[in-house]
Chain A
Amino acid sequence: MKNRLLHTPEGVRDIYGRELERKELLENKLKSLIKSYGYKEIETPTFEYFDIFSKDTGITSSREVFKFFDRENNTLALRPDFTPGVARAAVKYFFEDDAPKRLCYLGKTFSNHSGLQGKLKEVTELGLEYLGEPSADADAEMINIAVELLKKAGLTDFQICVGNAEYFKGLCEGAGLDADTVAGLSENIRNKNYFGTLDALNDVDAPDSIKNTLRSFPDFFGNIDILDEAQKKVKGIKKSEEAVKRLKELYERLKAYGVQDYITFDLGMLSKHDYYTGVIFRAYTFGTGDAIIRGGRYDKLLSNFGRDRAAVGFTLIIDQLLSTLKRQNIEGEAGKEEACIYYDSVSFGSALKKARELREKGILTAMTRLEKEGDPSGFHKGDGKSLIVYYSEGKEIKY
């Protein structure tokens, strides 16, 4: 029992000291970058009605949501992600006029996935939503901010991979495939399983031209040039053609922003969920096994809350970004200077004066009374406090 008092449950942890300092610095830096694009911060509750995060509105499977009950026996949930809550709040407060809205958020999210996988159950997410703006310009703004954020964090070697869910949807609709077949195909294409895709197509009754295109998904992955080939293959299928056109338009905008070097395209990047309705993008870099930014367009989401508005957004997992920076040996900004002043009972006055001076200069200063005479520098092994001053009998001793 004693041990339980000291340990945290699996999947959560304490963050303190230098690490927390580094985290806060990074958070503030990134948040102010987002705000410089006119985004306003919003705080939504940590827990809400479970329905907000259900199948139609969320991307976390219901099994992985932490659930509990209130006194009226409503099912509540700890937010597994921010987007549904932000969308709900936006519909409620911000859509009295037609102007697009820019919102951003920073906070913890929770997911109750199975243990022992080396993944945290509580993480800090930073994200933004651009609501009510359906154009490619909004998509471009998002992707540009994603690039800027990663650069600001100190990363140099990363890639933003962009796809469009509509391309695959158009093909499936064109071939008149049923939901089960689509799910099977989508899984194979998503997992880049070429042979699985071939197998899945074997028993499918569809026009050969479409089957051929579905077979070529491994080729729809690379730089801007792959889009021409992809466009040729879907002549006459309006939805898919539009999807490619949209990506080309987006690319032109990204060129104007000057971030095109970070962009690759992958039309086989499909989402497990019906949630995304257009452009999807993810950021990848070495040091994590998974994407560090995930986002895209979800124009149907807000209609679940009663407002039919476009929406595009992304989230970045701060914890993952920090561990990536650490693995790539990218130093964060150094924290503020710190000092510690020790004094004996007769030296309080001079110690106080010194402390005020230092705080005035912006140095974080702690004052500690020392009963016994001696060298206090031993208290500070490795905690990075840069200045230690000791006042004994009113006299200053520096260490």
Chain B
Amino acid sequence: MRYLTFALTKGRLADKTLERLEKIGITCEEMKDKASRKLIFVNEEQKLKFFLAKGPDVPIYVEHGAADIGVSGKDIIMEENRAIYEVLDLGFGKCRMCICGFPEAKELLSHHEMIKVATKYPRIARDYFQNIKHQTVDIIKLNGSIELAPIVGLSDVICDIVETGSTLKENGLTVLEEVCPLSARMVVNQVSMRMEAERIRGIIEALRGVS
């Protein structure tokens, strides 16, 4: 039997995913050893391999077939826009993609005039403003601490993930519009979906049954 390879998003998402997989009888003891410096973890009995990757890299590994199955956030899947199958909403890691800013900035969103948006997700922001709101947009790509941008006057609003909203509140910012809800998704390589149809569909079916 061929190995099925999983690419998981490093961090909390991976822990949650492993928890969920354990419920359907897929385990990886090697991965529980936090001190381990291994890059690839193997379950020999079930012929499974696991590795951890940075979020945005997961869809890339899966698209090229370096991993058969991946788990990453919907935000990343949308932003990367890769040729992969998005087969399952795992239901955890729930949050929202939102347009946020000072309350006064709401006015700027009600017309079609040019708006400056800072974001880590330029594709999602462009798609939202151009295709849904039909508003002219100037996008500034940042790599972190997006909330800073409107505060220091870099942009009018931001497009970012909101979980609890407490960082926003502490800085006088607020959610102005919701772009879409987000959660962790399971993605599958197109070739693997066909060549390993039975095993992969078995996993999907089983995961659908637990929460």
A residues near B, CB below 8 A?
Answer: 118, 157, 159, 161, 191-196, 221-222, 264, 266, 284-291
Central interface residue in B83, B88, B190, by most chain A CB within 10 Å:
B190
Q: Are A289 and B63 in contact (CB under 8 A)?
A: yes
Would you list 21 pairs from A and B whose C-beta atoms are within 8 A, ordered by A residue?
A118-B64, A159-B195, A161-B194, A191-B85, A192-B86, A192-B87, A192-B188, A192-B193, A194-B88, A195-B88, A284-B190, A284-B194, A284-B195, A285-B191, A287-B65, A289-B62, A289-B63, A289-B65, A289-B83, A290-B65, A290-B83
User: Within 8 Å CB of A289, what residues of B?
Assistant: 62-66, 83, 189-191
Given contacts A192-B193, A193-B87, A289-B191, 20 further A-B contacts (CB under 8 A): A157-B195, A159-B195, A191-B84, A192-B86, A192-B87, A192-B188, A193-B86, A196-B86, A221-B197, A266-B194, A284-B194, A286-B65, A287-B65, A289-B62, A289-B65, A289-B83, A289-B189, A290-B65, A290-B83, A290-B191
- Closest A-B pairs by Cβ, 4 of them: A289-B65, A192-B85, A289-B64, A195-B89
Q: Are B197 and A285 in contact (CB under 8 A)?
A: no
User: Within 8 Å CB of A286, what residues of B?
Assistant: 2, 65, 191, 195
* Separation of A161 and B195 alpha carbons in the complex (Å): 10
Q: Are A284 and B88 in contact (CB under 8 A)?
A: no
* Separation of A222 and B88 alpha carbons in the complex (Å): 19
Q: Are A291 and B87 in contact (CB under 8 A)?
A: no
* Separation of A115 and B62 alpha carbons in the complex (Å): 18
Determine how close the nearest CB of chain B comes to the CB of A118; give it in whole angstroms.
6
Chain B window 79-98, contacts with chain A (Cβ cutoff 8 Å), 1 for yes, 0 for no: 00001111111000000000
* Separation of A284 and B191 alpha carbons in the complex (Å): 6
Which label, helix, strand, loop or mixed, suits the secondary structure of the B interface? mixed
Within 8 A of A (CB), among B9-63: 62-63
* Separation of A4 and B3 alpha carbons in the complex (Å): 42
Determine how close the nearest CB of chain A comes to the CB of B66; give it in whole angstroms.
8
Determine how close the nearest CB of chain B comes to the CB of A356; give it in whole angstroms.
50
Determine how close the nearest CB of chain B comes to the CB of A386; give it in whole angstroms.
36
Central interface residue in A264, A266, A290, A291, by most chain B CB within 10 Å:
A290
Q: Are A264 and B197 in contact (CB under 8 A)?
A: yes
**Complex: chain A residue closest to B83, CB-CB:** A290
* Separation of A291 and B83 alpha carbons in the complex (Å): 11
* Separation of A284 and B83 alpha carbons in the complex (Å): 14
Determine how close the nearest CB of chain B comes to the CB of A18; give it in whole angstroms.
25
**Complex: chain B residue closest to A161, CB-CB:** B194
User: Within 8 Å CB of A266, what residues of B?
Assistant: 194
**Complex: chain B residue closest to A119, CB-CB:** B64
User: Within 8 Å CB of A285, what residues of B?
Assistant: 191, 195
* Separation of A191 and B193 alpha carbons in the complex (Å): 11
* Separation of A222 and B2 alpha carbons in the complex (Å): 20
**Complex: chain A residue closest to B66, CB-CB:** A289
User: Within 8 Å CB of A159, what residues of B?
Assistant: 194-195
Determine how close the nearest CB of chain B comes to the CB of A315; give it in whole angstroms.
17
* Separation of A287 and B62 alpha carbons in the complex (Å): 12
User: Within 8 Å CB of A161, what residues of B?
Assistant: 194
Chain B window 190-203, contacts with chain A (Cβ cutoff 8 Å), 1 for yes, 0 for no: 11011101000000
* Separation of A284 and B88 alpha carbons in the complex (Å): 22
**Complex: chain B residue closest to A268, CB-CB:** B85
Q: Are B191 and A193 in contact (CB under 8 A)?
A: no
Determine how close the nearest CB of chain A comes to the CB of B197; give it in whole angstroms.
7
User: Within 8 Å CB of A192, what residues of B?
Assistant: 85-87, 188, 193
Determine how close the nearest CB of chain A comes to the CB of B130; give it in whole angstroms.
15
* Separation of A157 and B190 alpha carbons in the complex (Å): 16
* Separation of A159 and B196 alpha carbons in the complex (Å): 11
With A118-B64, A286-B195 known as contacts, the answer to whether A291 contacts B190 (CB < 8 A) is yes
**Complex: chain A residue closest to B62, CB-CB:** A289
User: Within 8 Å CB of A194, what residues of B?
Assistant: 87-88
Determine how close the nearest CB of chain B comes to the CB of A192; give it in whole angstroms.
4
**Complex: chain B residue closest to A199, CB-CB:** B89
Determine how close the nearest CB of chain A comes to the CB of B94; give it in whole angstroms.
13
Within 8 A of A (CB), among B74-129: 83-89
Central interface residue in B2, B66, B193, by most chain A CB within 10 Å:
B193
User: Within 8 Å CB of A288, what residues of B?
Assistant: 65, 191
Q: Are A290 and B190 in contact (CB under 8 A)?
A: yes
* Separation of A355 and B193 alpha carbons in the complex (Å): 55
**Complex: chain A residue closest to B198, CB-CB:** A222
* Separation of A195 and B197 alpha carbons in the complex (Å): 19
Central interface residue in A193, A196, A221, A222, by most chain B CB within 10 Å:
A193
* Separation of A338 and B1 alpha carbons in the complex (Å): 41
Central interface residue in A118, A192, A285, by most chain B CB within 10 Å:
A192
**Complex: chain A residue closest to B84, CB-CB:** A191
**Complex: chain A residue closest to B189, CB-CB:** A289
User: Within 8 Å CB of A193, what residues of B?
Assistant: 85-87
A191, A222, A287: the one within 8 Å of B197 (CB)? A222
Chain B window 174-208, contacts with chain A (Cβ cutoff 8 Å), 1 for yes, 0 for no: 00000000000000111101110100000000000
Central interface residue in B63, B88, B89, B194, by most chain A CB within 10 Å:
B194
* Separation of A360 and B64 alpha carbons in the complex (Å): 47
* Separation of A307 and B27 alpha carbons in the complex (Å): 60
**Complex: chain A residue closest to B63, CB-CB:** A289
Q: Are B85 and A291 in contact (CB under 8 A)?
A: no
User: Within 8 Å CB of B191, what residues of A?
Assistant: 284-286, 288-291
* Separation of A222 and B86 alpha carbons in the complex (Å): 18
* Separation of A194 and B193 alpha carbons in the complex (Å): 14
* Separation of A264 and B195 alpha carbons in the complex (Å): 10
